[in-house]
């Protein structure tokens, strides 16, 4: 069976912000941000003693509404909190369920109950199984979890992210083969916006759709880096004008040869630009 052709999503995911579900002030602030999506976190950002309170707070927050899609990150499948988290998610109808440390395609398949699933790829086994995980019906996207991966790989952190080179490529390939969204990992230094921008540009160059974030100050940086600029949109319009005037075949545009694939790429760029303008 041929692999599905990746299609641009109707909703941009340039910036996906994690917010601790039990932090009422952070949740309220997130409502006014320009993030493309928010993830109410019941896992790492919540102290074990506060899990139940965070679950209740997340349910209430989801009922209040946001200006963007809101997902819910559950505790892992092996956590004693998982079942209660899942029940809360099904009752509150988030835009998606984020599952940490996804490794088992069968378990993910059994979990799909009509809510889009977003799988965190943050273990070596998860990376190796990324293609089968991405192909499970109901999976909407893959999210790289770099912190756990660095620990599991015994890797050093470097500005070029050399230790994650294989992971970033493998997760992206799995997502594209399955036609789902690919999101880059969080950037931990809250004060280093230049470093964040460097990682965003690197991920965008690779082909990622957006980046997961941990602080409101990071949202605008990610939106710019993963968004389509006016210059890029105009270049796409110019290319299509040349292509449409020629009709078909191989055409010269501004000194270089273009063909149908370049026209399709330009149309995708303009579609992304239009979506971003609608959500701005």
Residue ranges of the annotated binding site for substrate are 73, 122
d(CA 166, CA 158): 14
d(CA 152, CA 194): 27
- Residues annotated in the binding site for Mg(2+), as ranges? 122, 148
Residue 152, classified by CB atoms within 10 Å of its CB into exposed (0-12), middle (13-18) or buried (19+), is middle
Is the Cβ–Cβ distance between 193 and 217 less than 8 Å?
A: yes
Is the Cβ–Cβ distance between 258 and 244 less than 8 Å?
A: no
Question: What's the distance, CA 39 to chain centroid?
Answer: 11
Q: Please, which residues have CB within 8 angstroms of residue 41's CB and are 6 or more apart in sequence?
A: 18, 19, 20, 21, 54, 73
Is the Cβ–Cβ distance between 41 and 26 less than 8 Å?
A: no
- Residues annotated in the binding site, as ranges? 73, 122, 148
């Amino acid at each position: 069976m041929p692999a599905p052709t990746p299609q641009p999503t109707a909703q941009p995911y340039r910036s996906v912000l994690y917010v601790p579900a039990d932090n009422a002030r952070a949740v309220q602030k997130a409502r006014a941000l320009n993030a493309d999506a928010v993830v109410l976190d019941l896992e790492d950002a919540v102290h074990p003693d506060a899990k139940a309170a965070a679950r209740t707070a997340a349910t209430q927050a989801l009922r209040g509404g946001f200006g963007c899609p809101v997902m819910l990150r559950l505790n892992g499948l092996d956590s004693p909190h998982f079942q209660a988290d899942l029940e809360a998610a099904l009752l509150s109808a988030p835009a998606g369920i984020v599952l940490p440390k996804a490794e088992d395609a069968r378990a993910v398949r059994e979990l799909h109950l009509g809510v889009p699933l977003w799988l965190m790829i943050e273990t070596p086994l998860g990376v190796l199984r990324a293609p089968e995980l991405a192909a499970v019906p109901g999976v909407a996207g893959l999210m790289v979890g770099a912190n756990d991966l660095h620990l599991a790989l015994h890797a050093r952190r470097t500005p070029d992210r050399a230790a994650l080179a294989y992971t970033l490529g493998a997760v992206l390939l799995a997502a594209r083969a399955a036609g789902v969204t690919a999101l880059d990992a969080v950037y931990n230094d809250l004060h280093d916006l230049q470093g964040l921008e460097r990682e965003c540009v690197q991920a965008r160059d690779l082909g990622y759709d957006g980046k997961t974030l941990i602080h409101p100050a990071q949202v605008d940086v990610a939106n710019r880096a993963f968004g389509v600029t006016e210059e890029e949109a105009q270049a796409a319009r110019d290319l299509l004008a040349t292509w449409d005037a020629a009709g078909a075949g191989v055409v010269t545009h501004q000194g270089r040869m273009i063909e149908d694939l370049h026209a399709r790429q330009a149309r995708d760029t303009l579609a992304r630009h239009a979506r971003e303008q609608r959500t701005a």
